Amino acid sequence: MPTITLIPGDGIGPEVTRAVVRVLEATGFTPAWETFSAGAGAVDEHGTTLPPALLESIARNKVALKGPVTTPVGKGFTSVNVGLRKALDLYANLRPVANLPSVPSRFQDVDLLIVRENTEDLYAGLEHTVVPGVVESLKIITEKASTRIAEFAFEQARRRGRKRVTAVHKANIMKLSDGLFLDCARTVAARYPDIAFDDRIVDAACMHLVMHPERMDVLLLPNLYGDIVSDLCAGLVGGLGVVPAANLGEGGVGVFEAVHGTAPDIAGRDIANPTALLLSAVLMLEHLREDARAAAITSALKQVLASGHVTPDLGGTATTTSFADAICRTLIS
Ligand code: NAI
């Protein structure tokens, strides 16, 4: 069994993490967990949101499961998520977005895989004042990073039996930057004749997504559009509370996390919904080639959701603990 870095996080983080670890272990997946605090929880003890021992642990183990964390606001601390991405070069953000039973949503049959480039674009943070009243913010797009993320998208598509990758861009206006991103995607696409490829301009892609999301498959986006479109897509299936995510780097490094925050309004009450973190753990199992366990958990989760034994955010009366118990029972039945 592997050793996995565990970051329970703040607020509801420890509650949902406990539930997810229990479900994982009910499948017989019993790794050694190296547990660390991060974010606000780490500041008192370590004076930083990202203790060096945590980064060393992830670099060593390659895989981490992370609950939501609070980044102290206005005190000069780096966001944990941004810090992790930079320190570990987690260049790919992967978000499957699909309907789940008992989760109210405006659309059915949504089954998207969103691949977002995580390291460059306008997020390079290169901004300056040219003259008072005029600022420049630099959009960095490189052939290397664009090719790397396109290869990642096609590899994921192939591994997951997907049919089509759509590159999303604004190359009609940003001919050089988005043009380079699109050219790299086209070049990589030519090496994957088994997977269809097309492209859409970001505004048209958004309209298509909110009209016919079921017609789209894998989306490949540069950082900024990826940030916006991935939340839009979460909204298509019921919101951030039910969507998993992974941040992946070279050499098999991966940090698997829920997309929602620490939910301070419900923390400590055993009513948080662990679905998003559980689906992130499913991504982690797939990453570790534990496909049978991943499929078993997905199936048990869907059965319990379909039974109506759901947490209050989905209109039910289940607790975090009883929801996890029901999944564990389904797994061993
Ligand atoms: P939030 O996602 O924590 O909460 C928004 C609403 O969704 C709240 O009503 C909350 O109760 C509900 N909610 C969220 N997750 C839920 C779950 N699993 N089950 C049931 N209900 C759930 O967003 P908010 O309030 O903007 O942020 C709170 C804190 O979380 C902030 O300190 C923020 O920095 C942090 N945060 C951390 C993230 C991360 O570590 N990945 C991501 C987003 C926010």
Domain edge (last residue) among 214, 236, 258: 236
Residue 221: which of 230, 233, 208 has the closest Cα? 230
Q: Crossing angle, helix 291-307 and helix 13-26, to 10 degrees?
A: 120
Q: Is the CB of 10 under 6 A from ligand 1?
A: no
Indicate whether 293 and 332 sit together in one domain: yes
Indicate whether 80 and 138 sit together in one domain: no
Size of the chain, expressed as the number of residues it contains: 333
Structure tokens at 246: 């992974």
Indicate whether 249 and 314 sit together in one domain: yes
In a domain, 8, yes or no: yes
User: pLDDT in tens for each of the 333 residues of the chain?
Assistant: 999 999 999 999 999 999 999 999 999 999 999 999 998 888 888 888 899 999 999 999 999 999 999 988 767 777 888 889 989 999 999 999 999 999 999 999 999 999 999 999 998 888 999 999 999 999 999 999 999 999 999 999 999 999 999 999 999 999 999 999 999 999 999 999 999 999 999 999 999 999 999 999 999 999 999 999 999 999 999 988 899 999 999 999 999 999 999 999 999 999 999 999 999 999 999 999 999 999 999 999 999 999 999 999 999 999 999 999 999 999 988
CATH of the domain at 126: 3.40.718.10
How many domains does the structure of the chain reveal?
A: 2
Determine the distance separating the centroid of ligand 1 and the alpha carbon of 40, expressed in angstroms: 14
> Of 123, 139, 199, 313, which residue is the catalytic one?
123
pTM of the full predicted structure?
0.95
Q: Is the CB of 272 under 6 A from ligand 1?
A: yes
For residue 273, report the phi and psi dihedrals to the nearest 5 degrees: -90, 115
Where in the sequence is the domain holding 159, given as residue range(s)? 106-236
User: What is the Cα–Cα distance from 40 to 34, expressed in whole angstroms?
Assistant: 19
- Contact by Cβ (8 Å): 15, 276: no
